Amino acid sequence: MKSLLILLFPAVFFLLTATFSRAEIIDRIDLPLLEEEKKGEHNGGDNYTDVTTGMEFVWVEGGCYRMGDTFDEEGFSDEKPVHEVCVAGFYIGKYEVTQEEWQAVMGYNPSYFKNGDNYPVEKVSWNEAQDFIGKLNQRSGRIFRLPAEAEWEYAARSGGKKEKYSGGDNIKSVAWYNRNSASKSHPVGTKQPNGLGVYDMSGNVAEWCQDWYSKKYYSNSPRNNPQGPPTGLDRVPRGGSWYDLKGDVRSTFRYGLTPGLRYDMIGVRLVLSPDQ
């Protein structure tokens, strides 16, 4: 009988492979997937944790939305005209980059508020953010980057919803800003997340975007995956901070700053494309 089973096994396995996928066969014979096959997977649709840094990323399904000051209340002229923008899916950091994460990659902590590892890194220029990303990519084998401004706003508004602040219209529940921050930053993830499960996109520290800043960019922005002007003098930070008034932590508020300057209210949040 034993010899007969040995002879029949190849034929049975062939029938299985013709009927089921490899994953289904493994499940049916109750064998776990090899650890190296699961390690570092980040297919679109699933949240992702980078195995090198431990950074958590939330999947943002692509789509179209009305970018700009849809409330038409406190918005400035550079938030208009409201225009349709479509972005491809991407991963975004669940939290702002922490001081511990920055220290692990760069070997130093530039922050003014050194109150704990889980506080957001700040006093980081746009140029320094690029250095951090370059070293992180070299170490991890991924291609992390700063978000495009259109990606940032889409994610902040929970996938392009009409939200004044990231997570809704109740600023106190979602943001550290000048009325509740006690004039300092706070540990990441201590306010309510937005609808995607992303924290602190309004307040705590502002976050550099990849784009050059132009006050009139919305008047001629392309519809699909806009990347900002080709040149400029200033880069775009978004989200406002512990220092800012409530109008400056709105999801649509935008401005420009010299990329070499460092402030104790500006930090970093990373994104990752699904194929990288």
From CA 105, how far away is CA 187, in angstroms rounded?
19
User: Exposed, middle or buried: residue 170 (CB in 10 Å: 0-12, 13-18, 19+)?
Assistant: exposed
- Amino acid identity of residue 257, one-letter, is L
| Structural domain range at position 109 | 40-272
Asked if residue 9 and residue 44 are part of one domain, the reply reads: no
C-alpha separations of 168 from 16, 147, 162, 201 in Å: 50, 21, 8, 11
For the chain, what is the domain count?
2
The pTM score is: 0.84
What's the Rg (C-alpha) of the chain? 22
202 and 76 in one domain? Answer: yes
Residue 268, number of CB atoms within 10 A of its CB? 25
Spell out the per-residue pLDDT of the chain, length 276, in tens. 434 333 333 343 333 333 333 333 223 223 222 222 233 455 556 899 998 889 999 999 999 999 999 987 778 999 999 999 999 999 999 999 999 999 999 999 999 999 999 999 999 999 999 999 999 999 999 999 999 999 999 999 999 999 999 999 999 999 999 999 999 999 999 999 999 999 999 999 999 999 999 999 999 999 999 999 999 999 999 999 999 999 999 999 999 999 999 999 999 999 999 987
* Three-state secondary structure call for residue 227: coil
Same domain, 107 and 136: yes
71 and 177 both lie in a single domain: yes
Query: Are 164 and 204 members of one domain?
Result: yes
Task: Supply the CATH number for residue 127's domain.
Answer: 3.90.1580.10
CA distance 131 to 135: 6
